[in-house]
Amino acid sequence: MPDFSQPGDDGAILDDFAVWRRGVTYTVRREMLSPLPCGQEYRINATVRRRIAKGEAFTAYGDLYQRSTAILNGRIAQLTSSVDGEPLHTRVLWHAWWSGAVADKYPAAGDYSVACASVTIGLVYPNDGGPRPKGNDAPEASELMAPGGALAALLPSQNVPVQRFDEAYIDFDFNDPSAASADITLSYGEYMSPIPGLNFEPFVQRAENLAKFHCRLSKGRPHPTKPALEIVRREWFCITDSNLVVVMVYFRA
């Protein structure tokens, strides 16, 4: 039985495991793990990144955008549908889709470009039937044939603009698009100040639940059947200067 009372690890990564070629990086603020109070809007971002040929006139942003919304819809489905009779209100605060030669930022992509779609939603239980502000409309299919959305807000690095996310989910796959890989690297990060005697086991469990959620995702919604996972290694530790508890899960789906 692993000792979860201190940073540690178990399992082993074999030489044939493709580390950081496909997977998830996820961070969450602890408020998102409890029923949300009324009146405060929370922000969740889902970004999807895929390797494409350098110089390719990429037109399949619709697939990436659909994957981003599937992630968000799957997460929304896990939240309570109402609090004190107030239904959960969601809106798209920001969205963009683009591509660029950013292999220097994502070495696992190799000598290729990366296509991205990113969607940030706000969700709130309004107080006493309060206002339900409107967000951005979903893009038309024709708009998703070329880069678009809030591109003017992108940083020069073509990364997601600086925003305060309460939850951020990055789904990446830098494998050759014609060759599927079962190897997945997942990084789960939970913001909290490290405390003496911290028990890492609940964090590891939440990371494994996220791995199962990721494997259930289809293009439209999470698949209801239980996914089959083969976890080959787990690591758990704190990053004290970021007040972040991190769990790494390396698995095959």
Termini Cα distance of the chain? 24
pLDDT at 102: 56
Q: Is residue 2 part of a domain?
A: no
SS3 per-residue string spanning the chain: CCCCCCCEEEECCCCCCCCCCEEEEEEEEHHHHCCCCECCCEEEEEEEEEEECCCCCCCCHHHHHHHHHHHHHHHHHHCCCEECCEECEEEEEEEEEEEECCCCCCHHHCCCEEEEEEEEEEEEECHHHCCCCCCCCCCCHHHHHCCEECHHHCCCCCCCCCCCCCEEEEEEECCCCCCCCCEEEEEEEEECCCCCCCCCHHHHHHHHHHHHHHHHECCCCECCCCCCCEEEEEEEEEEHHHCEEEEEEEEEC
The rounded distance, in Å, linking the Cα atoms of 245 and 195 is 11
Q: Is residue 3 part of a domain?
A: no
215 belongs to a structural domain: yes
pLDDT in tens, 131-172: 788 999 999 999 999 999 987 555 444 455 556 799 999 999
Say if 212 falls within a structural domain. yes
Instruction: Output the six-digit token pair for 90.
Output: 């969601």
Quote the pLDDT of residue 219.
Answer: 47
Which positions ≥6 away from 4 have C-beta within 8 Å? 199, 200, 201, 204, 236
Q: pTM of the full predicted structure?
A: 0.89
Q: Do the domain assignments include residue 1?
A: no
Total domains in the fold of the chain: 1
Q: Is residue 135 part of a domain?
A: yes
Per-residue pLDDT of the chain (253 residues; tens, 9 = 90+): 899 999 999 999 988 898 999 999 999 998 888 888 888 899 999 999 999 988 888 999 999 999 999 999 999 988 876 666 678 899 999 999 998 865 456 666 667 889 999 999 999 988 876 678 899 999 999 999 999 998 755 544 445 555 679 999 999 999 887 777 889 999 999 998 878 889 999 999 999 999 999 988 854 455 556 567 899 999 999 998 889 999 999 999 8
- State how far Cα 72 lies from the chain centre: 9
Per-residue model confidence (pLDDT) at position 163: 63
Residue 223 confidence (pLDDT): 56
Interacting residues of 213 by C-beta distance below 8 A, sequence separation 6+: 74, 222
Its domain, for residue 91, covers 8-252
